[in-house]
Amino acid sequence: GLVPGGRHPVGVLLALDDEHGSAGGHRGDELGQAVRHPADALQATLAAQYHTGWPVTPIGLDTQGNVVLGDRNAARYADYGSLDARVSYEWILPHGTLTLHGELTNALDQRNPCCTDLEYSVIDGTPTLDRELRHWLPLVPSVGVLWKY
């Protein structure tokens, strides 16, 4: 555990990437940071991630009702941010170790947009293009047990 005046190492990882995107397009500025605090058998980790929104190609209808694409990656979804947390405790057993952990993925329950569902239909002779914005995972709690022997 934590002892007054004792040594309590904290590791910090910081990464900045403004050069590389994925899925064939530039994702934008990205910043991630993880902080880990091991204290004997107890470990706690926080990981934060932020990047500007994913690029997206606008899609619409022309005056005849035909689907048309705008300039490739001309728009962006809203910025992405996530904070993940993990706490674990490890017991040393006569035949291995037993670890109990709890995690919160997207601990602040951010609604990070990921994609858009499109549905083309013709209603009473009028072409329409319905859009539904979808999001990455919401807050996801999990617990687990690992036995190494």
pLDDT, tens digit (0-9, with 9 covering 90-100), for 121-141: 999 999 999 999 999 999 999
* pLDDT attached to residue 41: 86
* pLDDT attached to residue 25: 45
pTM of the model: 0.67
Q: Which residue has the higher pLDDT, 14 or 32?
A: 32
* pLDDT attached to residue 40: 75
pLDDT, tens digit (0-9, with 9 covering 90-100), for 75-117: 999 999 999 999 999 999 999 999 999 999 999 999 999 999 9
pLDDT, tens digit (0-9, with 9 covering 90-100), for 18-59: 444 444 444 556 666 666 666 678 888 999 999 999 999 999
Distances (CA, A) of 54 to 4, 24, 61, 95, 139: 46, 11, 23, 48, 20
* pLDDT attached to residue 85: 94
pLDDT of 13 strictly over 50 = no
| Nearest partner of 56 among 76, 30, 78, 79, judged by Cα | 76
